[in-house]
Structure 1
Amino acid sequence: MHETPATTPHFRTELAAQLAFLIPEAIADGKVDVEKLKELLDGDAVETSERFGLFWPGKRRALRAAQEPTTATLRPDFENSKDWDTTQNVFIEGDNLEVLKILQKHYHAKIKLIYIDPPYNTGKDFVYPDNYREGLQTYLEYAGLIGDDGNAKSTIAKNTSDNPHYHSAWLNMMYPRLKLARNLLTDDGVILISINDVEQAQLRRLCDEVFGENNLIAQFVWLNDGNVDQQSKIKGVHEYVLAYARNTSKFARPTVIDPNIGEESKLYRELIENSITKNGPANPPSEVELPVGFPANFTSGRIGIREDSYPHVLDEILVENGKVVTPARVRSGWSSRNLLDLFIRNGCSPIDDADGRETWFELRDTGAIYMMKRRAEDQGHVLSVLRNLGTTKQNSSLLASWGLTFSYPKPLGLIEYLVAVFTRPDEDALILDFFSGSATTAHAVMSANLRDSGRRRHIQVQLPEPVGDGTGGTIADLARRRIDKAGDSLAGTRKNQLQVDGGPPLDIGFRSYKLSDTNFAKWRLSSEVEEDALQQHLLSLRDSATDDATADELLTEILLKQGYSLTEAVSSAEIGALEVRLVRDRDGDVAVLAYLNEHVKPTLEQLRALVDEAPTRIIVLEDAFQGDDELKTNMSQLAKSKGIEVWTA
């Protein structure tokens, strides 16, 4: 019988366990022997105290914030959801540091793309109020955003530039979140981070440390037309998008062409042709012998010997029926000599280049040799400068048309383009934005799916920060409304398309969750608890689960801590006169059967009925057995005889 873990993984412990597995000789008395580790690494270990890197006050404490587990959970918010039973999209209201920890269990190495637009630290943005010892409690206090007067309130101070730790405060906020985010990326996954000049240098160095400087894909420059500070001496018209891969060796070449490239470009031609005559220090002249049968683009003719221009023709070349009929040597510097040699060795039949494009060579009547490539279906051409992809003003106007007000939302066109660059429509890519803001990323994912019939899914995370318009609403409220409005608008377009081209249905829904404390009193205990609090806690343990927690809330927490997703197919049923929850897999089989009523003790026959359903796993609240260890043991034996796991919580 297994017990559901009380917290998210303890990341420091897991790291030590990985070291023990990889380097057992570096473990002594159950601890990592750092000196032994240095000895084993020898010259690869850094000994000097003057190390290269990014250092700031509070860095070690910020790292601990990422490593500390949490007892927090997510509570289903059915009222603010859309298409709960069918959608694969998720919106989470809460502090993203706590949420990222909760997501580690199931979503580890499952996110294809992360896009975030964090606070730019301009002195106007707030920085998240991390209290690393009591992170969840700090959030829960902050989340009480509505005062007695009905207006939104915030206990968060601005991080102004006169703060002596101005950059440090921002780095301390970003560091633990990026550490946790990296764990979620697939091997070929990518993280994109929007930033401006204020923290670009620090962010670049920080990402080099977290993701590895060799995993930098690009530092995109985004020309943000229409958002210019007229008081500035130099008018800044650009921002940045840093792109880092989890592993660049796994990152595939994008298959998107920059929308600013005109249709007349050779990128859109069926055939791409280029002369391979190229002389220079990197391409010293060398001889190539054209064999009999080497193709020419003219039917017949003769090219005489010459050395006055490249390529030099060392032997007379005769062509009949579009092919060379006698071996002939030519001399020049060549830009694709290896491919040319491979083509000749292949009997002058087409070959594939490194990108899988059909490639061949042919002789022209000038004596030049041209390389011909058939344009690939997934031809890509992505530039490091992002331009003409919409403006913040346009996106603000779009939101205003839906009755929503938000300052400086990222352009929909920009994010949709980035989504298309770094994900493919046919791969069920999961996209995460844990600084969701007005939910432009969610809108962009749905819009991209509409454009290319994609199956992308999204997860949004947003703190319930006050909008600041005096209505008492939060940015999380605004984001959910924006996803709802955008989805309806796109669905209308899709309905018209379906009449023409068919295609998959467009997922415009989302499951809404809210960050909350655990529903289990026995999991709330902190190692820092004081004596009085401990006594109160022990009294609360008479009932393991919180009495006002619903079955859905209990199940969600248990599933998350056991490693299930936020979009599991859950249904209710009555089996053996017991109210249970069923979680089905993609094939419709019962993966989990959960009995979550601690106030009604089941009989052995009722438990036998649960086992007879043959689920993969059965979950029963510990207190449902009401101290009857014999009943618990009998059920465990019944399940074991049929290969069923039994878990308690």
Structure 2
Amino acid sequence: MSNDDIHETPSITPNFRTELAAQLAHLVPEAIADGKVDVAKLQDLLDGDAAAGTERFGLFWPGKKRALRAAQEPTPATLRPDLENSKDWDTSQNAFIEGDNLEVLKILQKHYHGKVKMIYIDPPYNTGKDFVYPDNYKEGLDTYLEWTRQVNEEGKKLSSNSESEGRYHSNWLNMMYPRLKLARNLLTDDGLIFISIDDNEVSRLRNLCDEVFGEANLAGQFVWKKGGTGKNDSQFLVVEHEYVLVYARRASASHFGLDMEAKVTTSYNLEDEKGRYSLVRLDMQNLQYSSSLDYDLVGPNGEIYRLQHKNPERPNAIWRWSRERVRKEMSALVFKDGKVYTKNYAKDGAKSRSLLVDERFGVTRTGKAEAEAALGKSGVFDFPKPVRLIQHLVRLADDKSALVLDFFAGSGTTAQAVMDQNAQDGGTRRFVVVQLPEPTPASSEARAQGFASISEISRARISGAGAKITEAGFASAVDTGFRAYKLADTNFSKWQQSSDIEPNELEQHMLELRDSSSDDDATPDDLFTEILLKQGFSLTERTAPREVAGLDMRGVLHSDDSLAVLAYLNEHVKPTLEQLRAMVAEDPAKIIVLEDAFDGDDELKTNLAQLCKTSGIELWTA
């Protein structure tokens, strides 16, 4: 039996340091020596493109290297299905996840890498009173609250990030940095991330995003008027606004949708068979030079068009389009008077303005009223963002089938905005939202009304908003359900990290592993979900129990109801060879069997591997 015939389910999320090194080995093999990256050789190869010495521009703060390691460190954690708190589990393509978002973002990497069109987050604003997220979910919420000084030993809540602490801004950056690094991986090539923020950290957030996403990928900075009158919450000014920063995964591939209610200001004074249009220069002056957008463009008659960056007055001129796009869309270009233009056709609507001050974007009290209407309760949440503001951003993402992610879900505004926008324009957008089970204050109105955590409020708000959409007659057209999950440690004892175990407990742990590789408290659905996630399946696969030759199994179904996966997850009942033959006869694309189900019978395992190989089926163990 060849090792190639049997695949082993990975025990942890991808190791990003290893993957980066592998990519470098592929791109620049001469920079790899003895299996390690030769940094000096890499600098030589980059020559003038590499920063020399220690004097360079950038954002630096205490703990930055540790924060980067937090993003790179793989996790064995998993998500457990929470059927009790789900809505329309069997049919919904939406997901609500309760847990620390750093660990959840790592879990999402396998399947959702490069698949999220839009991310919106409204992170803690670092006012000295906000909740600070843990970097290790295993510490437990109570331990972490004490560690961050949000509660003392008696459980009394304290300030979490006081300015007098000395690392006020560093603490916040250490929380945001690894999460943004992981979030960037999830964006599609033309994806956008929108981040709400106030004056406390807007300058540092912009510098941080310049580093994570690239300065050239700043798509815009909105100013949102959050209130009608403002409050005296600043020493010198009445602050009436907040910001929404927008970054693209790759600016050359991204664009904004039009604001359909905005006034068109461009003069479209030319016309062809497609309609009226104006001419827009293909070259532009940019703050940051990009060598990939600096090339000689060949016109339709073989003439050469060169950028003017050699002109001292235009040192950073670049093309707005990549070489590939020019090649594909040459017919859309106009060559005139030694310059290159694109046709900008007249459309309904116009570019969105950076000032979001109209009533159609809502204010803080609007958001509160919308949340209370969805919940059917008042006084539960103080400052949720208006649904209409997030809907505007969803429209700007310009994809009616977009996957939208929010990993600071709060009261669930983003989920409601996605559902409401689908109801308005017939879209099929889906959402994945993540919220830490942050406890509601003991003396709060939310606690008095039965909500023990923010995540409970969020789920209730999403369900209530969905019910109103259904009442309005969109029941069949809009997905108003969601699959609920909870972050948990791995269900497999053999995958638990030994570094978490005290030395005097290690011997007992090893003895336990001889008897069982999975947690006896874990249900087959728990085990199946973890295996699927670690193999790269989504949170919303069509799964179903299945009986085969007297064995209880789990399956993943294709859209045509054929079997994508068939899994046997009972380590206590060893299947017979005839039962294995019956599994193979079901003709799934992949078969998964718990290693312990073979009970050490290598011959039985080899027979299954041979059967699968003959039938063109992948065999995986866990």
Check the 8 A contact 1:113/1:423 in 2, yes or no: no
CA shift digits 1:398-443 (9 cap, x unpaired) = 3334115112100111001111111322xx2100000000000000
Partner SS state of residue 414, structure 2: helix
Question: What is the aligned partner in structure 2 of residue 332 from structure 1?
Answer: none
Letter paired with 1:408: F
Check the 8 A contact 2:543/2:554 in 1, yes or no: yes
Check the 8 A contact 2:334/2:343 in 1, yes or no: no
1:94 counterpart = 2:95: no
| CA distance, structure 2, for counterparts of residue 240 and residue 270 of structure 1 | 37
Q: How far did 1:255 drift?
A: 3.0
Q: How is 1:410-559 mapped onto 2 (pairs within 5 angstroms)?
A: 410-425=385-400, 428-468=401-441, 469=444, 470-471=447-448, 473-495=452-474, 505-527=477-499, 529-541=501-513, 542-559=515-532
Letter paired with 2:377: G
1:44 counterpart = 2:49: yes
Question: What is the aligned partner in structure 1 of residue 282 from structure 2?
Answer: none
CA shift digits 1:435-454 (9 cap, x unpaired) = 00000000000011011000
Q: How is 1:6-405 mapped onto 2 (pairs within 5 angstroms)?
A: 6-130=11-135, 135-139=136-140, 158-226=160-228, 228-232=230-234, 233-257=236-260, 259=261, 261=262, 354=342, 357=345, 375-376=346-347, 379-388=349-358, 389-401=361-373, 402-403=376-377, 405=380
Instruction: Pick closer, same or farther for the CA change 1:511–1:153 going to 2, 3 Å.
Output: farther
Question: What is the aligned partner in structure 2 of residue 614 from structure 1?
Answer: 587
Q: How far did 1:528 drift?
A: 6.1
Structure 2: gaps spanning 5 or more residues? 1-5, 147-153, 280-284, 286-332
Q: How far did 1:253 drift?
A: 4.0
CA shift digits 1:104-123 (9 cap, x unpaired) = 00000000000000000011
| CA distance, structure 2, for counterparts of residue 275 and residue 393 of structure 1 | 41
CA shift digits 1:234-280 (9 cap, x unpaired) = 111111100000000100342333x3x36x9889999998999xxxx
Partner SS state of residue 163, structure 2: coil
Check the 8 A contact 1:450/1:494 in 2, yes or no: no
Check the 8 A contact 1:72/1:136 in 2, yes or no: no
Check the 8 A contact 2:269/2:278 in 1, yes or no: no
Q: How far did 1:224 drift?
A: 1.2
Partner SS state of residue 201, structure 2: helix
| CA distance, structure 1, for counterparts of residue 542 and residue 579 of structure 2 | 24
Q: Which moved more, 1:105-114 or 1:26-35?
A: 26-35
Question: TM-score if structure 1 supplies the norm length?
Answer: 0.79
Check the 8 A contact 2:267/2:278 in 1, yes or no: no
Q: How far did 1:531 drift?
A: 2.4
Q: How is 1:623-634 mapped onto 2 (pairs within 5 angstroms)?
A: 623-634=596-607
Question: TM-score if structure 2 supplies the norm length?
Answer: 0.82
Figure out how many residues of one structure are paired with residues of the other and give that number. Answer: 540
Question: What is the aligned partner in structure 2 of residue 604 from structure 1?
Answer: 577
The RMSD of aligned alpha carbons is 2.7
Check the 8 A contact 2:9/2:535 in 1, yes or no: yes
| CA distance, structure 1, for counterparts of residue 105 and residue 138 of structure 2 | 16
CA shift digits 1:546-603 (9 cap, x unpaired) = 1110010000000000000000000111111111111012232211000111100000
Partner SS state of residue 164, structure 2: coil
Instruction: Pick closer, same or farther for the CA change 1:43–1:398 going to 2, 3 Å.
Output: closer
| CA distance, structure 2, for counterparts of residue 3 and residue 554 of structure 1 | 15
Instruction: Pick closer, same or farther for the CA change 1:439–1:380 going to 2, 3 Å.
Output: same
| CA distance, structure 2, for counterparts of residue 29 and residue 201 of structure 1 | 42
Letter paired with 2:342: A
Q: Which moved more, 1:379-388 or 1:510-519?
A: 379-388
Q: How is 1:582-597 mapped onto 2 (pairs within 5 angstroms)?
A: 582-597=555-570
Structure 1: gaps spanning 5 or more residues? 146-151, 277-281, 283-337, 343-351, 358-374, 499-503
| CA distance, structure 1, for counterparts of residue 554 and residue 156 of structure 2 | 39
Instruction: Pick closer, same or farther for the CA change 1:340–1:268 going to 2, 3 Å.
Output: closer
| CA distance, structure 2, for counterparts of residue 532 and residue 60 of structure 1 | 32
Check the 8 A contact 1:639/1:645 in 2, yes or no: yes
Instruction: Pick closer, same or farther for the CA change 1:611–1:155 going to 2, 3 Å.
Output: farther
Q: How far did 1:535 drift?
A: 1.2
| CA distance, structure 2, for counterparts of residue 231 and residue 55 of structure 1 | 29
Question: What is the aligned partner in structure 1 of residue 326 from structure 2?
Answer: none
Check the 8 A contact 1:254/1:421 in 2, yes or no: yes
Question: What is the aligned partner in structure 2 of residue 294 from structure 1?
Answer: none
CA shift digits 1:71-125 (9 cap, x unpaired) = 1000000000000011000000000000000000000000000000000001111
Partner SS state of residue 435, structure 1: coil
Partner SS state of residue 508, structure 1: coil
Q: How far did 1:43 drift?
A: 1.8
Check the 8 A contact 1:196/1:240 in 2, yes or no: yes
Q: Could you tell me the percent identity over the aligned residues? A: 56
Check the 8 A contact 1:619/1:647 in 2, yes or no: yes
Question: What is the aligned partner in structure 1 of residue 295 from structure 2?
Answer: none
Instruction: Pick closer, same or farther for the CA change 1:615–1:182 going to 2, 3 Å.
Output: same
Partner SS state of residue 354, structure 1: strand
Q: How far did 1:51 drift?
A: 1.5
Check the 8 A contact 2:595/2:621 in 1, yes or no: yes
Q: How far did 1:28 drift?
A: 0.9
